[in-house]
Amino acid sequence: MIVSGFISVVIALSLNFAKEVKAYPYQPTSTVDFQVHNVRKEQAVAPPDCFPAIGFTMPSTLPSTTTNWWCDHSTEYAFVGFSYEVTACQSLTTLTKEFKDIRTTFKGRYVRIYGACDRAGFYNDVINAAWSASLGVHALIWFGWDDPNIWKTRRDTLLGILHSNPKAKFVVRVLQFGSEPLYDYALDPDTLATQVTSAKANLSSLHIPVTISEMAYGYQERQPGSNKVMDAIDIIDAHMLPFFSTEASTASASWPIVLTDVNWFVTNGQNKKIYLSQNGWPSVTYSGVEPNSPSAVANVQNEKNYFALLDSKCSYFKSVAGGGIGWFAHIYSDNQEPGYGIYGTSGVLKFPFAPITSVDLDSANPFSSSTSTTMAAASSTRALNAILPQIPTAPYEAHQKARTFASRYVKSNQYDTAIDVLFQSARELIKTGQPGSGSDLTTFMLDVYESKGEPVSDESRGRLTQLIALIGPDGGWRKTMIDKSIAWSAKHGTCPAGDPDLQHYVGELLYKEGSFEAAEIHFLASGKRDSARLLADMFLQWAADTSSYGLFAVRGTIPYLQNGNILAAKTFIRHFTSGLPASVRVESDSVINVGEKDEVTMTKDSLVNFAQMAVLTCQRAQGDQNKVMRESWVRLCGTYQGKIGLLATPEMRMSLNEIATLYFAIPPPRSQAGNPFGDMMSSLFGGPAQSQSARRTLTPASTSSPGLD
Ligand SMILES: *[C@@H]1O[C@H](CO)[C@@H](O)[C@H](O)[C@H]1NC(C)=O
């Protein structure tokens, strides 16, 4: 059958597996909310005049009400404080001293309690110490592992103190059930959701919200029951310990792991405020808490690097819906949990620790990259106070006001302020059902991006993806926003085909809506590995109706090859082939190994086989240096063009010739007409669109280029 025809090609492929063409490096996917329900409450007081802002002066007597007491969630992102373990039943004196240390030494605003102390009145000490240190508290009902019912006693005691201590409602920002009650199956998800709901009811007069402290995996593994828990909680206290990921290596390389979990919370978190409550990287590992990856490194340098990594993502944290992401360092001292402490057991700092907070972005911290944005946020407050409250009642006036303010700021070169005003106004307008006005302000914001020369960053892209997600598919506004956003990103990012993260985001959005054809272009233009994977998933679904798997195999592979993106082509075809239904597979002996790391899975569909071999042949190309591969390519194309009509069509011939020139330095046939992909290619490789007579070839990558997986 079909298999015998290509054995010679496969053998040729196995002869050379040394050189690989350079491809785009993997980059993490950026995040945006898909579901935005909560309309943000307008904030009557701003930092430092709200609790627990840095610089807030505690009143000498208790206020009569919590109205205007708490800072808005949107002012609490980046570092917010420490996790603090209480099994030691610290005395009031120790609590007060250490809470003040958190506040003054590290500019912490919260302490997140971890573990339990069952000494009578212990939570009164926590609350009183927090009040004297001006520190907010994430209180905790601890389940533990010994007595299955002790949490009930702890719950009743803690609820009782929250009601009886008059300071409680002024310092307790949230009550958590924890830790990891879903993951540990402390309660079944339904019961847990009911507990959260009754605690909320119990605390409603005090306005203390309720949540659980849990990792993304805990929610994921208890679905669908955990969806009720997600519905019930007021804010999200997320656990983030990337050291335990199966993909962990060093802390500095852990951002993709963090982002995967953060993305899950952003997508499923219903726009609730997110804190990373149990969040860190250990400096030692010991029996019982070993990593799940052999490459995971535990030492002080990595513990330190993890927090430096979070500092470097500060502007991203700020941009996440729900008021930005605030993070706690887990944990205050090695005495509380060995290896995680910022302080060692002797009370000395293990490394210098001065994380960026949302209030000192513009002060002396050398890591800060968002100085101008923070100052813009400060100066846009006046405009936004005039605009936002008007939106529900007089959207037309609010829209005009936003334009007027923004124009004024642009004229005085205050671009960041203009951007902030336009972004926030557009967002609120869209949320209140004014997509036309919102879209108009988005276009204006992109014009300001252009005038300013705003580079593509997590933050500048994050504004656009938020607005794109909010506006929805109806009415044509989104298409305009997407096109204009991509045009801006092509001009001000590193990739002339548009920012890969933005392209991926849009592709995924359209794919999830079922707009396959529209999504395809964006996945191809993105070229990220994640995009190639999703493209394969989508094509598998799309092809299922007609069983035209081969057509889609080629449709995913060839454009990536033409873009010089071997890595994406390879990711795509592997993922695609492994997802094929049994009807297309060959029963036995269908896998042929190629070199050490690669294989071709023979299927009943010749085009699928062709696509796999085309990728492996191009991967081993070295221009005209590797004669064997050149010949393999020619033979591969010849064999299949004789067999399959589609490959012999003029369009397909043109694409294959393009690839022949690009990878194997085979001159194009003289008669070849203009090729739009060729022009796209040229611009990708930095030159102007070339005439078809000019030859383009890829330089073979050095042997040290990273392996493809
Ligand atoms: C809240 O719960 C505590 C402990 O179970 C109870 O003593 C108190 O009466 C409850 N208060 C309200 C308002 O439900």
Of the CA atoms within 13 Å of residue 386, those in its CB half-sphere come to: 15
Average pLDDT of span 232-249:
95
Q: Ligand 1 centre and the CA of 152: distance in Å? A: 12
Q: Is the pLDDT of residue 485 over 60?
A: yes
CATH architecture of the domain with range 379-493: Alpha Horseshoe (1.25)
Q: pLDDT at position 377, please?
A: 57
Please state whether the predicted TM-score (pTM) of the whole model is above 0.85. Answer: no
Can you tell me the mean pLDDT for 345-358?
89
Which of 112, 79, 48, 53 minimizes the C-alpha distance to 326?
A: 79
Query: So what's the architecture of 76-362 in CATH?
Result: Alpha-Beta Barrel (3.20)
Rounded mean pLDDT, 643-666: 91
- C-alpha 109/C-alpha 100 separation (Å) is 10
CA atoms in the 13 A half-sphere facing the CB of 689: 7
pLDDT band at 475 (very low <50, low <70, confident <90, very high): confident
Token pair, residue 135, equals: 């520190």
Could you read off the pLDDT of 619-654 as tens digits, one per residue? 998 878 888 889 999 999 999 988 898 899 988 999
Closest by Cα among 672, 651, 650 to 661: 672
- Whether residue 72 is predicted with pLDDT greater than 60 in this model: the reply is yes
Does residue 159 line the site of ligand 1, with CB under 6 A? yes
Residue 5 has pLDDT above 50, yes or no: no
Q: 379-493 and 537-669: same fold?
A: yes
Q: Which of 83, 177, 164, 65 is nearest to 123 (CA)?
A: 164
Residue 688, classified by CB atoms within 10 Å of its CB into exposed (0-12), middle (13-18) or buried (19+), is: exposed
pLDDT digits (tens, 9 = 90+) for 362-380: 333 333 334 445 556 557 8
Domain ranges of the chain: 76-362, 379-493, 537-669
Q: For a pocket test of ligand 1, which of 152, 159, 198, 206 has the largest count of ligand atoms closer than 8 A to its C-beta?
A: 159
**Predicted local confidence at residue 34, as pLDDT:** 29
Whether 693 shows a pLDDT value over 60: the answer reads no
Q: Could you give the CA distance from residue 97 to residue 485 in angstroms, rounded to a whole number? A: 51
Q: Which residues contact residue 631 at a Cβ distance below 8 angstroms, ignoring those fewer than 6 apart? A: 12
Residue owning the nearest CA to atom 9 of ligand 1? 160
The CATH classification number of 537-669 equals 1.25.40.10
CB 202 near ligand 1, within 6 Å = yes
Q: Locate the DSSP E strands across 232-294.
A: 236-240, 274-279
pLDDT tens-digit readout, 574-601: 999 999 998 998 876 577 888 778 888 9
Ligand 1 centroid to Cα of residue 192, in Å, is: 18
Nearest protein CA to atom 14 of ligand 1, as residue: 202
Query: In terms of pLDDT, which residue wins out, 200 or 54?
Result: 200
pLDDT at 689 over 50: no
Supply the pLDDT for residue 705. 34
pLDDT for 686 beyond 60: no
Task: Tell me, in angstroms, the distance from the centre of ligand 1 to residue 162's CA.
Answer: 10
DSSP state at residue 68: T
Distance of CA 352 to the CA centre of its chain: 28
Amino acid letter, residue 685: F
Percentage of the chain lying above the pLDDT 70 cut: 85
What's residue 703's pLDDT?
Answer: 33
CA 202–ligand 1 middle distance (angstroms)? 6
Contact criterion met (CB below 8 Å) for 581 and 544? yes
| Six-digit token string for 286 | 């010991």
For residue 407, give the H/E element and its range. helix 395-411
Position 387 scores a pLDDT of 93
Identify each DSSP E strand in 94-170 by its residue range: 110-114, 136-142
Using CA atoms, how far apart are residues 395 and 215, in angstroms rounded to an integer? 40
User: Tens digits of per-residue pLDDT, 273-284?
Assistant: 999 999 999 999
Q: Which of ligand 1's atoms lies nearest the C-alpha of 205?
A: 13
User: Residues 6 or more apart from 646 whose CB is under 8 A from it?
Assistant: 550, 551, 554, 607, 652
Distance 130 CA to ligand 1 centre (A): 23
Under a CB-based contact definition with an 8 Å cutoff, are residues 463 and 319 in contact? yes
